[in-house]
Amino acid sequence: MIKGKNQPKSGSAKTTAADLPGSGGYGANDAKLDDLARNTEDSAGEYLTSNQGVRINDNQNSLKAGDRGPTLLEDFILREKITHFDHERIPERVVHARGSAAHGYFQVYEPMAEYTRADFLQDPAVKTPVFVRFSTVAGSRGSTDLARDVRGFAVKFYTQQGNYDLVGNNMPVFFIQDAIKFPDLIHAVKPEPHNEIPQAASAHDTFWDFISLMPESMHMIMWVMSDRAIPRSLRMMEGFGVHTFRFINEQGKARFVKFHWKPLLGLHSVAWDEAQKISGKDPDFHRRDLWEAIENADYPEWELGVQIVEDKDEHSFDFDLLDPTKIIPEELVPVRRIGKMTLNRNPDNFFAETEQVAFHAGNIVPGVDFTTDPLLQGRLFSYLATQLIRLGGPNFHEIPINRPVAPLHNNQRDGYMRQTVNRGQTSYEPNSLRGGCPFQAGTAMHGFESYAERIDARKIRARSPSFFDHFSQATLFFKSQSAPEQNHIINALRFELGKVETPAIRERMLFLLSEIDKTLAKRVAEGLGATVPAKLDQPINMSIPADADPRKVQPKRAKQEIETSPTLRMVDNPNFPTDNIKTRKIAFLIADGFDDDAVAYMRQALLTAGAAALTVAPRLGVLTGAKGEEAKADFSFLTGSSVLFDAVYIPGGDASAAALKGEPEAINFVGEAYKHCKTIAASGAGVELLKSAGLIPRTSGEVAKSDQQTVHPGVVISQEANFSQLADDFIKGIARHRHWEREAVG
């Protein structure tokens, strides 16, 4: 499966950007790769040594008084090795602990000088190195990739003007409006403190207790209960900066900006039942998928999009631009795609890079600035604080993955693990002993200047009334979904609330859902065997100060400019045409005696379309076709499972089909693929397996009348050797990703 095009450069101490193959690589000028090369190590052909460089002659036995006697304290080799091992762990991230990352580069399409002075957004010829880490939020480091959760989408741009971190998510809004609620939110969603249950799951009482008292989270809840929370691949999800930021141009003019990442492979999810099964079959599913795609030179790509709002239009929307629970619908402000990011290199070492990378929402460069979004403001404090505890001191910026490629000079000194050997007598400024160095840089020399936003206010702990509309955009999101996607949201809520044990929490949630959409609430209630309460005993917004007037801080609906936005759904989203099947994994179910011609034809057709064909057979090893062609089994029914593939093909061959029919796992395989709405193709005797699985009538009757048919949505068969038509139909079916309409027929 792994073509290994990208392999030789991994781990070599002598690797430089110039060693990378020209095609698909950075070219010969990746400053970050050269920078990392200073710290990479490769043991190939080397002697084993201690940390002091002393060669070790026996790594099997500790030093003892006699071969059965006690170990001696003087065994410095043993002590050093064990002591280092004892200290190998660092605290995992308090949120986003589970993650996977890759290197790549970003290129802007055209100069953005009209809007921003940021230097990496000016020259289309410049490739800015990036390191991107994707993550789930709630689970621990070792938790499953397929949890229902928000995905982190954090990008570190190593620009010539310093590091710029765009620390976003795969959903454009957030649960809460003010950072002061973040510890509460996370405490509620994490495993419950008394018994540490459940892992990487929001389906438990404390999460829904908190949410049911937090009406501002309703828009985000719609996203998290949607299929966006269970992506097919990290390569197939959108990214969002969430907050409104500012772009500042050379003249100092500021505009508001929202950031988007649009995946070129489209937007795809798995089914919830599938997600749960993948969590057992391959909890590293997303990590493996990203790693293998890059090793196979199928480099994932996203376009960077911006929504720009003129300063004067700040108050022209029916929501507040500073409110992180709101989107700017693309119908109101279109997303302009301004550049492309390509991920083309896996990390050499997970700990050194993926684990130690330190993102910070506050890492910005000239040309970008913050707004006073109260969630963003809290983040600006939090990330630095968290790095100090997680990475153990103030010098984490010197860790290779974190250090900028831009030169770094200041008067900060010392601290744990200081790497830099700062020369000279002075470590203060102003100074005369060193001629004033290092100097402050004026604006012309790209010195960072904060946007001089006018603030004329009283110190006050309060929420702006412009933040009180908690339901309109939740309704917009729900109404914008296709029918199957609405069903998925309803089922997700039935699942999550079904796991909640306290009836009052479910009731409050049903009431809040009824504020979003009456049918939504009614259908969730049906699944729970409950009724939607007409009103609540307490005020809906419990999270208000005790002495506040509850009428003044209740959610209220603002007038909406649009009723639906097709860009919010995943099915038939106009931003993502479904016309390709690139990098999809297709399972071929075969046994000895398979139809050689059918396998060869379909394999070639899929490869030409950019997909991968993988064989799954009753046993591993080499299988022989009816005409003597050999095929290696990539998986057996024990190691491969339907949930790990995008579609299934069962070629003919009497002996092969007969063997598969006698294999319960083969029947499960197609049954499950059917249930998860995947495209299934069968030809010749392979059609028999579909009959055994009950997917088409046993008496071929109708089916036999015509050779080529679609038996159910996304199930295509050919009883004769009409491979070309079958392959076309199969590929079209896979490009639709899932045939959710099957769920309606059951």
Q: Is 598 an interacting residue with respect to ligand HDE (CB under 6 A)?
A: no
Q: Is 717 helix (H, G, I), strand (E, B) or coil?
A: strand
CA dist., res. 105 & res. 333, Å (int): 27
Nearer to ligand HDE, 350 or 383 (CB): 383
Note whether 565 and 574 are within 8 A (CB). Answer: no
Smallest gap from residue 268 Cβ to ligand HDE (A): 21
Q: Does residue 17 bind ligand HDE (CB under 6 A)?
A: no
- The answer to whether 383 contacts ligand HDE (rule: CB under 6 A) is yes
Stretch that binds ligand HDE, among 165-173, 434-442, 657-665, 732-740 (CB under 6 A): 165-173
Closest CA to 280 of 643, 673, 726, 746: 643
Residues that bind ligand HDE (rule: CB under 6 A) add up to a total of: 24
Q: What is the DSSP letter of 107?
A: E
Is 490 a binder of ligand HDE (CB under 6 A)?
no
Residue 180 sits at the vertex; the CA angle it makes with 175 and 181, to the nearest 5 degrees, is 35
Residue 683 in the binding site for ligand HDE (CB under 6 A): no
Three-state SS at 692: helix
Which 3 state secondary structure label does DSSP give 681? strand
Exposure of 454 in the CB half-sphere (CA atoms within 13 A): 2
Among 179, 532, 598, 680, binds ligand HDE (CB under 6 A): 179
Q: Are 657 and 255 in contact (CB under 8 A)?
A: no
* 96 in contact with ligand HDE (CB under 6 A): yes
Q: Does 375 bind ligand HDE (CB under 6 A)?
A: yes
The answer to whether the beta carbons of residues 156 and 130 sit under 8 Å apart is: yes
- Return the number of the residue (463 or 661) whose C-beta is nearest ligand HDE: 463
Q: Tell whether residue 709 is a contact of ligand HDE (CB under 6 A).
A: no
Q: Contact between 221 and ligand HDE (CB under 6 A)? A: no
228 binds ligand HDE (CB under 6 A): no
Question: What's the CA gap between 739 and 728, in Å, rounded?
Answer: 17
Catalytic residue among 6, 163, 169, 491: 169
Task: For the beta carbon of residue 546, count every other beta carbon within 10 angstroms.
Answer: 4
Nearer to ligand HDE, 101 or 512 (CB): 101
> In sequence order, what DSSP letters do the residues of 166-179 get, joined into one string?
EEEESSSS-S-SSG
Among 11, 191, 198, 378, binds ligand HDE (CB under 6 A): 378
**Which of 135/656 has CB closer to ligand HDE?**
135
- Tell how far CA 347 is from the center of its chain: 17
Question: For residues 694 and 722, is the Cβ–Cβ distance under 8 A?
Answer: no
Q: Does 616 bind ligand HDE (CB under 6 A)?
A: no
Q: From the CB of 93, what's the least distance to ligand HDE, in Å?
A: 4
Query: Does the annotation mark 349 as catalytic?
Result: no
Render 34-60 in DSSP notation, one character per residue.
HHHHTT----TT---B-TTSPBPS-SS
Three-state secondary-structure class, residue 559: coil
Other CB atoms within 10 Å distance of the CB of residue 564: 16
Query: Can you give the length of the chain in residues?
Result: 746
**Following CA atoms 728, 731, 735, 740 in sequence, which dihedral angle do they give, to the nearest 10 degrees?**
90
The reply to whether 229 sits near ligand HDE by the rule CB under 6 A is: no
Asked whether the bond before 111 is cis by omega within 30 degrees of 0, the reply is no
149: which 2 tokens?
A: 């959760």
Pairing outcome for strands 368-369 and 245-248: antiparallel
Angle between helices 664-675 and 654-661 (to 10 degrees): 80
- Of residues 30, 32, 99, 646, which one binds ligand HDE by CB under 6 A? 99
Active site residue 243: no
- Of the candidates 284, 387, 389, 339, the residue with the CA atom closest to the CA atom of residue 104: 339
Neighbours of 487 (CB within 10 A): 15
* Residue 291 in contact with ligand HDE, rule: CB under 6 A: no
Q: Which is nearer to ligand HDE, 170 or 514 (CB)?
A: 170
CA distances from 172 to 136, 495, 522, 574, 625 (A): 15, 24, 27, 17, 51
Residue placing its CB nearer to ligand HDE in the complex, 135 or 206: 135
CB of 106 to ligand HDE, least distance (A): 17
User: Can residue 242 be called a binding residue for ligand HDE (CB under 6 A)?
Assistant: yes
CB of residue 168 to ligand HDE, shortest distance in Å: 5
213 binds ligand HDE (CB under 6 A): no
Shorter beta-carbon distance to ligand HDE: residue 92 or 292? 92
Q: Report the residue closest to ligand HDE, judged by CB.
A: 152
Q: Is 98 in the site for ligand HDE (CB under 6 A)?
A: no
Tokens coding 496: 């999550």
Note whether 169 binds ligand HDE by CB under 6 A. yes
Q: Which is nearer to ligand HDE, 403 or 488 (CB)?
A: 403
Contact pattern for ligand HDE over residues 307 through 346, marking x by CB under 6 A: ----------------------------------------
Site for ligand HDE contains 359 (CB under 6 A): yes
Min dist CB 347 to ligand HDE, Å, is 13
| Residue 261 touches ligand HDE, criterion: CB under 6 A | no
> Which residue is catalytic, options 6, 96, 268, 541?
96
Nearer to ligand HDE, 167 or 626 (CB): 167
Residue closer to ligand HDE, measured from CB, 274 or 320: 320
Could you give the string, one character per residue 130-159, with x where binding to ligand HDE holds by CB under 6 A and - elsewhere?
A: ---x-x----------------x-x-----
Select 210 or 730, whichever has its Cβ closest to ligand HDE: 210
- 727 part of the interface to ligand HDE, by CB under 6 A: no
Question: What 3-state DSSP class applies to 541?
Answer: coil
Distances from the Cα of 20 to the Cα of 3, 23, 124, 437, angstroms: 16, 8, 21, 37
Binding track over 55-94 against ligand HDE, x by CB under 6 A: --------------------------------------xx
Determine which helix (DSSP H) or strand (DSSP E) holds 108, and give its type and residue range: strand 99-108
Q: Which of the stretches 10-18, 34-42, 95-103, 609-617 binds ligand HDE when contact is defined by CB under 6 A?
A: 95-103
Which residue matches tokens 């890492």? 363
Q: Structure tokens of 634?
A: 């990539």
Question: Rule CB under 6 A: is residue 388 a binding residue for ligand HDE?
Answer: no
Q: Is 18 helix (H, G, I), strand (E, B) or coil?
A: helix
Angle, nearest 10°, between helix axes 596-608 and 723-735? 40
**In this complex, which beta carbon is closest to ligand HDE, that of residue 149 or of residue 672?**
149
Binding interface with ligand HDE (CB under 6 A): 93-96, 99, 133, 135, 152, 154, 167-169, 174, 179, 182, 242, 357, 359, 375, 378-379, 382-383, 386
Q: Which residues are catalytic?
A: 96, 169
